[in-house]
Amino acid sequence: MSLLSAFNTQLVNLFEELCVTFPEEKDIKMATEGIKGARKINPRLILDLFRDHVYKDCSEAIYARDIVHFRNIAQKKIASQFNEMISALVIFDKHWETMGSKNQETIWQYLTVLCHIAEKAHTQY
């Protein structure tokens, strides 16, 4: 499995898990479908979106698991732009405090893995 394929699979898995955990968040469901569609047409686009809208600004906060810093960045991005990646950031703003430590840990793990794969994939592509 290529790094690009692994990245896209991991990201879709995260979004699908968010859909199950937060079924009331229709934007997450729409974003999941958008990511799945983009993966078929242009899988590199998804990696580029993640790098531009999550990794570049948030990777330090993700690696440090610094929710305060991460939420500050997410709130600024939510207020100023929209794409599939931004809709996932809404979860941190709306639901982080109430989701429970197991779900929080799962999300941190997904994001950490996505950042690591994005770093490696960036050097390949």
pLDDT digits (tens, 9 = 90+) for 64-104: 999 999 988 888 877 676 655 666 777 777 888 898 999 99
Distance CA 31, CA 16 (A): 10
The model's confidence at residue 59, banded by pLDDT at 50, 70 and 90, is very high
Over residues 98-119, mean pLDDT: 95
Q: In this predicted structure, what is the pLDDT of residue 84?
A: 59
| 114 or 72, higher pLDDT | 114
> pLDDT tens for residues 5-58?
999 999 999 999 999 999 998 888 988 999 999 999 999 999 998 998 889 999
Task: Determine contact, residues 112/39, Cβ cutoff 8 Å.
Answer: no
Tally Cβ neighbours within 10 Å of residue 75: 14
What is the reported pTM?
0.87
Give, to the nearest 10 degrees, the angle between helix 26-41 and helix 3-21. 160
Q: In this predicted structure, what is the pLDDT of residue 13?
A: 96
CB within 8 Å of 92: residues ≥ 6 apart = 67, 70, 71, 74
Q: In this predicted structure, what is the pLDDT of residue 86?
A: 66
Task: Determine contact, residues 3/44, Cβ cutoff 8 Å.
Answer: no
Q: In this predicted structure, what is the pLDDT of residue 112?
A: 98
In the chain, where are the structural domains located? Answer: 3-124
